[in-house]
Amino acid sequence: MTLQFPAEESFAAVRARRTHSIKWQRYPADVLPAWVADMDFPPPKEALEAGITLLDRGDTGYPSPDLVMNYQLSYQDWAKNNFGTQPNSLATVADVVAALRIIIMAVTDPRAGVIVLTPSYPPFFRVVNDAERELVPVPMQRINRRYTIDFDLVARVAAKEHVQAIILCNPQNPTGRVFTRNELTMIAEIAERERLIVISDEIHQDLRAPGTVHIPYSSLDHESSSRAVVLASPSKSFNIAGLKVAHIELPSDTELRSRIEGSPLLALSQATSIGLSVGTQAYRTEGDWLAEVRTIIDENFNLVIKGLGDQDGITITEREGTYLLWGELLRRPSGQSAYEFLLNRARVAVGPGEDYLPGAPEFFRLNLAAWPSVVETMIERIHDALAAL
């Protein structure tokens, strides 16, 4: 099956089409939205058609067991073909953030410490706090524009009595790191020593830079991986976040598994039938759509690296995965965060650094899952705003 990727759309055309999208509707019409993590590309046509069929028939009730089973089978094939893995049984859920909350509540004790590597996707902070666990932030180290895990620090923190879990994000949002087998094994060793549960959010697993390999945590040949819980979803890979479908790869450790399966919250956070249908079909596409998307994203990163950089006072983090660029804006009017400056002077809406790394207003996150002409306009605007300083 060959997928027809649509011709490039203008900024105005995307805006006119996306009248129900928070990404496009939060800011005034002249602002280029590069903040929340969804893509400007329409999802694969065949996948959408699966949802349209349900709507046409009015078959919009609660999902049947067969629908759930088909989703699971299509993901298992996807995992086998793309990562060479055979995920354990899956539990489908509405979204990854809901799943995180379910897992934290089910597998950790009240007030247990949960490690989050920073900078981090902000809902990790919120989910841990809302679950009334102790958020234990562990900063990553930035060495030559690349972030690495400070394993000594993780080990020291993990040794504390009350620390019971670590949330990993791989590929990492916002730094774009894709962790190596060696790095994951070092985490697994700490987890084994300290009886830590690893919760690995792999929602960005399909979005990798050329030459980068994603290693699913569940594929580690390590004793502690039986106590790991992996989360994934077609929502980032195929741009269907609004359809509400994701899954938990249940751990093989039977006690942990039954705690998750028995969670009353699981029943309250079910995937939708449209999400399951579209997700099932998306995982059955042969990758042409995704390959084209990856190429556009890679080109966009190259455009930004060519167009902006040290000469402008911008440090761009090396990226291995995701479509998110983590940057540092050193030159800006005093008292203004990078977010404020880019919004007010360049009319580009980015993710504010402080959301990901409290106390770091110089950072910003730029979403590059956009058409190249839009990215070129972003670059020009940022360039001009900096030149006018």
Return the residues of window 146-205 that contact ligand PLP according to CB under 6 A: 169, 173, 201, 203
Question: x/- contact string, 110-149, with ligand PLP (CB under 6 A)?
Answer: -----------x----------------------------
How far is residue 194's CA from residue 100's CA, in Å, rounded to a whole number? Answer: 21
Q: Which of left, alpha, beta for 7 (phi over 0: left; psi -120 to 50: alpha)?
A: beta
Looking at beta carbons only, is 97 or 325 nearer to ligand PLP? 97
Amino acid at 33: P
Using CB under 6 A as the binding rule, whether residue 96 contacts ligand PLP is answered as: yes
Stretch that binds ligand PLP, among 82-90, 94-102, 301-309, 346-354 (CB under 6 A): 94-102
**Under rule CB under 6 A, how many of the chain's residues touch ligand PLP?**
13
Using CB under 6 A as the binding rule, whether residue 233 contacts ligand PLP is answered as: yes
Using CB under 6 A as the binding rule, whether residue 206 contacts ligand PLP is answered as: no
How far is residue 375's CA from residue 381's CA, in Å, rounded to a whole number? Answer: 10
Cα 377 to its chain centre, rounded Å, is 25
Q: Give the DSSP H or E segment for 248.
A: strand 246-249
**Phi, psi at 33, each rounded to 5°:** -85, 120
Looking at beta carbons only, is 201 or 362 nearer to ligand PLP? 201
Looking at beta carbons only, is 341 or 363 nearer to ligand PLP? 363
Closest CB 83 distance from ligand PLP, rounded Å = 17
Closest CB 169 distance from ligand PLP, rounded Å = 5
Looking at beta carbons only, is 54 or 169 nearer to ligand PLP? 169
Q: Tokens 């028939």: give the residue.
A: 57
> Per the structure block, which two tokens stand in for 220?
């580690």
- Contact between 200 and 170 under an 8 Å Cβ cutoff? The reply is yes
Strand-pair partners of 327: 316, 364
DSSP single-letter state for residue 160: S
Looking at beta carbons only, is 1 or 267 nearer to ligand PLP? 267
Return the residues of window 330-359 that contact ligand PLP according to CB under 6 A: none
- Beta strands 363-367 and 197-201 are unpaired
Q: Tell me which residues touch ligand PLP (CB under 6 A).
A: 37, 95-97, 121, 169, 173, 201, 203, 233, 235, 241, 246
